[in-house]
């Protein structure tokens, strides 16, 4: 039986630093749990542009289509700010999402008990928070046509088109309903049906999918702006939220900050099943390339490590091992080990990126 395959695209900035800690975890699972992976590495983002003149080489794109899962670090940085839009580092990531057809972006917002005081909200509001936002990722206003900046008369006009088909809405809704069925049994769909025709269609299709196949899941609807307000008022009222590409981008970032640190949040982008039954998948931390701390050992690798935990759960059906890894991260935090982003009023034991990764490995060892 062949090992599952992983393609690591560490990318730019702190991407290679945090991904090095993930490699330790991957190696540990091979050595101690009999979960061996065949791992390849390649370039994406600014480093790919430096090497190939494009943020994602065609060969890399082809390999991403073939492997069981892609792990991505981060892309971008100020060195690439003046590049043409078509070759900016972020275009590499968008190409991966679009050509792999990764239509369901899973963004968990979980507040670990040890970090409840880090949120800008009161501790009782966020303590124990565990919600999942499912963002449609391959359509909507980020991809709709026509788009561009055009000249009309004596002035320029910027145009972006919000466009969704029934099938695009239905498939991401099904992904969200399936998740809700396995979690707390509640799904809230967010759109702007009061002012946008695409929102009306979104609400209609989600309701139709619910009535046909998921009547056991409690479904509610909420305007996206009201949803943002409710996320900051009492986020624990939600279990799973499903929404479109633009609103999902905004709401998931808002939910991320409820937990106190972007350095702790993973994500998964999932597509249709491949021939082996596994979904096409890309896993990445929510944080960016953080050029201001690159190479200083200050980066928090936990979000990238937790992204691998999501890969264990959603790509490799290893939910128990995903729980083990998430538990190891939680133990490290409970023990007070802190990268700079998690230091508060001098409390905790300071740790470098490498030391945080080592602490997670030690916690995994202790779990055996």
pLDDT tens per residue, range 44-62? 999 999 999 999 999 999 9
Does the active-site annotation cover 249?
Answer: yes
Per the residue annotation, which of 225, 323, 335, 358 is the catalytic one?
Answer: 225
Q: Could you give the 3-state DSSP secondary structure of residue 133?
A: strand
Q: In the structure encoding, which two tokens stand for residue 277, read together?
A: 């039954």
pLDDT of residue 345: 57
* C-alpha to C-alpha distance for 268 and 240, rounded to whole angstroms: 14
Residue 362 to residues 139, 293, 329, 338, 350: CA-CA distances in angstroms?
Answer: 42, 25, 10, 15, 16
Per the residue annotation, which of 101, 117, 253, 323 is the catalytic one?
Answer: 253
pLDDT of residue 366: 97
pLDDT of residue 116: 85
Q: H or E element: which one contains 267?
A: strand 266-273
Q: In the structure encoding, which two tokens stand for residue 118, read together?
A: 């880090």
Q: Which residues contact 283 (CB under 8 A, 6 or more apart)?
A: 69, 70, 71, 72, 266, 267, 268, 269, 307, 308, 310, 311, 315
Q: In the structure encoding, which two tokens stand for residue 254, read together?
A: 């808002």
CATH superfamily ID and name for 1-112+261-368:
Isopropylmalate Dehydrogenase (3.40.718.10)
Query: What are the extents of the domains in the chain?
Result: 1-112+261-368
pLDDT of residue 118: 82
Per the residue annotation, which of 42, 49, 80, 192 is the catalytic one?
Answer: 192
pLDDT of residue 351: 96
What's the predicted TM-score (pTM) here?
0.92
Q: Give the strands of the sheet with 186-191, arranged side by side.
A: 38-42, 5-11, 69-74, 279-285, 266-273, 104-110, 130-136, 240-243, 186-191, 218-223
pLDDT of residue 10: 98
Does the active-site annotation cover 253?
Answer: yes
pLDDT of residue 346: 66
Low-confidence ranges of the chain (pLDDT < 70): 345-346
Per the residue annotation, which of 42, 244, 249, 341 is the catalytic one?
Answer: 249
Per the residue annotation, which of 142, 164, 214, 283 is the catalytic one?
Answer: 142
* C-alpha to C-alpha distance for 160 and 162, rounded to whole angstroms: 7
pLDDT of residue 137: 95
């Amino acid at each position: 039986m062949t090992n599952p395959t992983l393609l690591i695209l560490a990318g730019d900035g702190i991407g290679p630093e945090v991904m090095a800690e993930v490699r330790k975890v991957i190696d540990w699972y091979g050595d101690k749990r009999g979960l061996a992976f065949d791992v390849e590495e390649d370039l994406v983002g600014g480093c790919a542009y430096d090497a190939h003149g494009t943020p994602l080489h065609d060969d890399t794109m082809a390999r991403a289509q073939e492997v069981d899962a892609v792990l991505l670090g981060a892309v971008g940085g100020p060195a690439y700010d003046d590049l043409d839009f078509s070759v900016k580092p972020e275009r590499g990531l968008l190409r991966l999402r679009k050509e792999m057809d990764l239509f369901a972006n899973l963004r968990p917002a979980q507040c670990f008990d040890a970090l409840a005081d880090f949120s800008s909200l009161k501790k009782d509001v966020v303590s124990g928070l565990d919600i999942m936002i499912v963002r449609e990722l391959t359509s909507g206003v980020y991809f709709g046509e026509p788009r561009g900046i055009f000249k009309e008369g004596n002035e320029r006009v910027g145009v972006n088109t919000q466009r969704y088909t029934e099938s695009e809405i239905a498939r991401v809704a099904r992904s969200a309903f399936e998740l809700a069925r396995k979690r707390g049994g509640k799904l809230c769909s967010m759109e702007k049906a009061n002012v946008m025709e695409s929102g009306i269609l979104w609400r209609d299709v989600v309701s139709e999918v619910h009535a046909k196949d998921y009547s056991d899941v409690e479904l509610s609807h909420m305007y996206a702006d009201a949803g943002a307000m409710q996320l900051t008022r009492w986020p624990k009222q939600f279990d799973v939220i499903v929404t479109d590409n633009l609103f999902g981008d905004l709401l998931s970032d808002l939910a991320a900050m409820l937990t106190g640190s972007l350095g702790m949040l993973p994500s998964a982008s999932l597509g249709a099943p491949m021939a082996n039954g596994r979904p096409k998948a890309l896993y990445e931390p929510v944080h960016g390339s953080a050029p201001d701390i690159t190479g200083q050992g200050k980066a928090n690798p936990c979000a990238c490590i937790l992204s691998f935990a999501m890969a264990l759960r959603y790509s490799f059906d290893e939910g128990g091992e995903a729980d083990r890894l998430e538990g190891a991260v939680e133990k490290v935090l409970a023990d007070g080990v802190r990268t700079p982003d998690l230091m508060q009023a001098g409390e905790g034991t300071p740790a470098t990126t490498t030391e945080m990764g080592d602490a997670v490995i030690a916690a995994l060892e202790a779990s055996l």
